[in-house]
A = this chain, B = another copy of it.
Amino acid sequence: MTGTDAAVLVVEDDVAMRRVLVTALRTSAYTVIEAGTGREAAAQAAGRNPDVILLDLGLPDADGVDLTRKLRTLTRAPIIVISARGREHDKVAALDAGADDYLTKPFGTVELLARIRVALRHARAADRGSEDAAFAAHGVRVDLTARRVFANGREVHLTPTEYKLLAVLVRHPGRVMTHRQLLELVWGPSYVSQTQNLRVYMGQLRHKLEHDPARPRLLTTEPGVGYRLDGE
């Protein structure tokens, strides 16, 4: 598989290293976009819509993990992190911040290209689904782009965590989300076994949204499995 038009954003401050990367990518027929700073990287990611991002963590002007998180808000393109630091902690932090792969220097060009192919494979598979930005049922309306929630025509105030939880459910209407999924997406990977907390927040959401919180029609329980946001 060759580049077939795919655009790769290379974020790397070291000029020599950058030249190596760019040459390898051009040889494989990728379109290359370059950035030498975190600020530039964000601009290019937002403006040029790359298909893959190669990100060197060791930029002088930005913390790598923060930048990863930032880029993730700007684009859904896979991020392959390149770093001189090979400690486990660094890897985990970057991966949990939204990176899709982590390569430690020094690495081979051939391997890098193979990992780029994997990333593109993923991106294409994920592209097929696009999300709705709104949900409405049972007198409840959720506007994800405006971050607003209404119940029976009245706007309801939700705390950040409540909203996050509801937003996850809205993105998967009608389908059961397991405790694990909800906990991981709302609270993060290290909270996957704190199911009690999830129950508390689900109760708060019901209290604010359901007509009769004791007999939920919108936020239903699937005992032993998880919760579901029901349409009509």
Chain A residues packing against B (C-beta within 8 Å): 1-2, 4-6, 28-29, 88-89, 91-92, 95-96, 99-101, 108, 110-111, 113-115, 117-118, 122, 124-131, 145-148, 159-160, 163, 172, 174-176, 178-181, 184, 189, 192-193, 195, 222-225
Contacts and interface: CB of A to CB of B under 8 A. Distances in A.
Interface pairs A-B: 3 shortest CB-CB: A128-B129, A129-B129, A5-B180
Given A29-B192, A159-B223, 5 more contacts: A91-B114, A92-B111, A128-B130, A146-B174, A160-B225
A196 to B, nearest CB: 10
B130 A115 contact: no
Contacts of A29: 180, 192-193
Contacts of A160: 223-225
A124 to B, nearest CB: 8
A159 B221 CA distance: 11
A52 B64 CA distance: 28
A198 to B, nearest CB: 10
Most chain B beta-carbon contacts within 10 A, residue among A118, A145, A160: A118
Contact of A125 (B108, B117, B126): B126
Contacts of A225: 4, 147, 160, 163
A20 to B, nearest CB: 15
Contacts of A101: 101, 118
Given A92-B114, A159-B223, A5 B178 contact: yes
Nearest to A188: B117
